[in-house]
Amino acid sequence: MKPLRLRRLSAQAALIPTWVIVIFAYLGTILWTIRISFTSSGILPKYDFVGFEQYERLFRSARWIISVQNLAIFGVMFIVGCLVLGFLMAVFLDQRIKGEGIFRTIFLYPYAMSFIVTGLVWAWILNPTLGIQHAMHNWGWTSFSFDWLARGDRAIYMVGFAGIWQSAGLVMAILLAGLRGIDEDIWKAARVDGIPTWRVYISIVIPMMSGMFVTAIVLLAIAVVKVYDIVVAMTGGGPGISTEVPAKFVIDYLFNRQNIALATAAASVMFVAVLVVLGPWLYRQYFRKERRAA
Amino acid sequence: MNTVTKNRALAVVASAAFGLAGMQAQAADKAEVIHWWTSGGEHAAVMEFEKAFDAQGGDWVDAAVAGGGGDAARTDGINRIIGGNPPTAMQFNTGKQFDELVSNGLLRNLDPLAKEYGWKDKINPVLLNAVSVDGHMYAVPVDIHSNTWLWYSPEVLKKAGLEPPKTWDDLLTDLAALKKDGVIPLAQAGDAWTQVLTFYNVLITQGGKDLYMKIIKDHDVDAVKSPEFLKVAETFGKLRDYVDPGMQGRQWNQAIALVIDNKAGFNFMGDWAKGEIDVNKKVPGKDVGCIPGLGHQTYWVGGDVFVFPKVKSKAEQASQALLAKVLLEPKVQLAFNEKKGAVPVLKDVSSEGMDQCAQKGLALLKSGDYVPSSDILITPDMSGSIQDLVSAYFTDKSQTPQQFVDQFAAIIGG
């Protein structure tokens, strides 16, 4: 008994620094952020109390509403697009084609670039006076028009497109690993039964790879919530405020507009939203499994 | 924008690192100066300060933080002041950016120095007012920039058989003619702040000084709902028809470059555009025309200041006093502002040797045709809200002037 307890004690002691960091650096700052969001702080923190004033202003702000809508559009488009494209690419590579290594590298290459570089490159390609449209005009097709990035009602889709271009390769890599893990015998059995290939993928392979899909979705979802750099690089939030996102709202009010109360209110809303969406799932994934294992 | 962000991230890291290093290295008579003048012309200008300061026995330690708008530099400096490790001096834009530092008692009161050197009689009153809180002086203004200029290419206008415009209606006619000729009528940048400057240009020079002051200074909602302001919104809205699709993603210097290269007719930009004109070996006022406002010609007084955080060491206080004195010496002011493309802050400097555009600006300053910049009158918070609204309106043709007016009234009414 005693040695075990001692061992546990030393294990706990070794964890103390981690606990200190978690409590002060993570929980502490989260609580502090929420506290500040109920004050009238400007450039410096002030510890008064103004109730939900900042939150009211936040939800009256056209820019915040647009930011949230954009996050939804970008999020759905990005996650669905990456999954579909990534899965198709993975299936394509799984056909034991020639030069698989080359294709795999090409498909995964965009992911080696940061969002900043991705954004900048696509900003140039999609710029009507520099990129595709300009090239088409030079080649004589003068009626060609592709100016979505310069149009407020379409620009966010272009940001989503660039995001998919960058991240679909990651999904491909994850799903390809999953496909390679599918037992050959399943394929043989399906062939014996005369089931068409597409049906095998949809009814058998995809359900078997649900773990891989969850991993991919979680990684993509995290990228969606913190999306900032690709917008800054590609559009700067423009035209106008049409491609603003919540993270950019927080940064702008924190540093440029000297209103940390409003910035922390926005950050708190983001935090709560993530918690509401991810909380039940995290609980299911980790805590219940642990209990079952114990 | 992307470099600004990257630089900001760097600056945060750097400020953390310097914060530690600086604490030990704070030697007695050094003057550590935070500023964001890092482009070619700006660097040459700030070197004039450094040379003059060092010549009089100071020791200038340059702490430049890159990033055009100065966000990174201000974040860095403010965090150091709050953290108890202030720099000797720090740059701000003329205006309200440092008000909260004053109200929290973090900046040095410059009244004794002002009295000693007679600054209150020598400095342009608008600027003096802008750096004073409750009658006490808290910052040293170093330059005057006007943000409301209209630049044009005389060659493009000549080719199209047009005259430089004198009124807003002239401008709209010219723009329409250029559009028909297939030239870019109005080259603008995609960044929101450039669109805000254009809006203020319309407000001040079409709506007039009084309307601007009523709205921006007194926050008079009735003035926003007046027919005059609706007219401003309409004119500003009409400009949307004459920008080209390449506007999005273009930087301000690329926009003025289109005018310099005679590829576009007009561009709205502040007088720092002269830096670009000089770099291209052209003469402001001759090769590229300048109009300080159509209709009511008005100078929009903004610029840069230095503040001096409260410091304990006597030696550092002495170098603050020396630095403040040097910044405002007439000779240094002239040398600095010539390279900066700005106008000196002292009332009685000769305009000899200045380019035509600077002369025009100086004449307006002398005749009293000027207004304080919006940075002087409103908080960064409200500025930001106006910026969001103006840029959304300018890039979305489906928004009507009336909608713009209503939303503007909501911001001004708080």
The interface pTM score, or ipTM, of the predicted complex is 0.80
CB distance from B407 to chain A under 8 Å? yes
For residue B17, what pLDDT band results from cuts at 50, 70 and 90? very low
Give the residue from chain B lying closest to A42, CA to CA.
B100
CB distance from B97 to chain A under 8 Å? yes
Q: Which two tokens stand for residue B285?
A: 């006022």
Strand partners, B184: B264
Cβ(B290)–Cβ(B359) below 8 Å: no
Contacts of A124 in chain B (CB under 8 A): 249
CB contacts < 8 A, A to B, total: 107
Q: Name the residue with tokens 């802008």.
A: B130
Task: Kindly report, residue by residue over B75-105, the tens digit of the pLDDT.
Answer: 888 888 888 889 999 999 888 888 888 988 8
Distance CA B154, CA B164 (A): 8
Q: Which two tokens stand for residue B49?
A: 């300060």
CB distance from A256 to chain B under 8 Å? yes
Distance CA B294, CA B263 (A): 22
Contacts of A235 in chain B (CB under 8 A): 248-249
Q: Name the residue with tokens 């713009």.
A: B404
Distance CA A245, CA A71 (A): 6
Q: List, for chain A, all residue ranges whose pLDDT scores fall below the cut of 50.
A: 294
More confidently predicted of B339 and B155: B155
Q: Of all helices (H) and strands (E), which one includes residue B64?
A: strand B59-64
For residue B74, what pLDDT band results from cuts at 50, 70 and 90? confident
For A:100-139, CB contacts with B below 8 A are 116, 119-120, 123-124, 127-130
Domains and CATH numbers, chain A: 52-258 (1.10.3720.10)
Domains and CATH numbers, chain B: 2-145+301-372 (3.40.190.10), 149-299+373-412 (3.40.190.10)
Angle at Cα A150 formed by Cα A62 and Cα A86, nearest 5°? 90
Which of these, B273, B42, B21, B20, lies nearest to B148 by C-alpha position? B273
What is the pLDDT of chain B when averaged over all its residues?
85
Which of these, A242, A38, A138, lies nearest to B190 by C-alpha position? A242
Task: Select the residue of B75, B383, B393 nearest A255 (Cβ to Cβ).
Answer: B75
Kindly report the nearest CA distance between residue A127 and chain B, in angstroms: 7
Give the residue from chain B lying closest to A239, CA to CA.
B395
Q: What is chain A's alpha carbon radius of gyration, rounded to the nearest angstrom?
A: 24
Predicted local confidence at residue B26, as pLDDT: 39
When mean pLDDT is compared over A63-67, B65-69, B102-106, B312-316, the highest value belongs to: A63-67
Does B69 score more than 80 pLDDT?
no
Task: Kindly report, residue by residue over B240-274, the tens digit of the pLDDT.
Answer: 999 988 888 888 888 999 999 999 999 999 888 88
Distance CA A12, CA B159 (A): 82
Give the residue from chain A lying closest to B396, CA to CA.
A152
Distance CA A258, CA B134 (A): 22
User: How many C-beta atoms lie closer than 10 Å to residue A33's C-beta?
Assistant: 17
User: How many C-beta atoms lie closer than 10 Å to residue B397's C-beta?
Assistant: 12
Distance CA A141, CA A157 (A): 24
Does B9 score more than 80 pLDDT?
no
If you write DSSP's letter for every residue of B318-337 in order, what string do you get?
HHHHHHHHHHT-HHHHHHHH
Half-sphere exposure of residue B63, counting CA atoms within 13 Å on the CB side? 25
Q: Is the link from the previous residue into A239 a cis peptide, with omega within 30 of 0?
A: yes
According to the 3-state scheme, what is the secondary structure of A225-273?
HCCCHHHHHHCCCCCCCCCCCHHHHHHHHHHHCCCHHHHHHHHHHHHHH
Hey, what's the torsion of the CAs at A267, A271, A277, A282, to 10 degrees?
150
Is B388–A259 a contact, with Cβ atoms under 8 angstroms apart? no
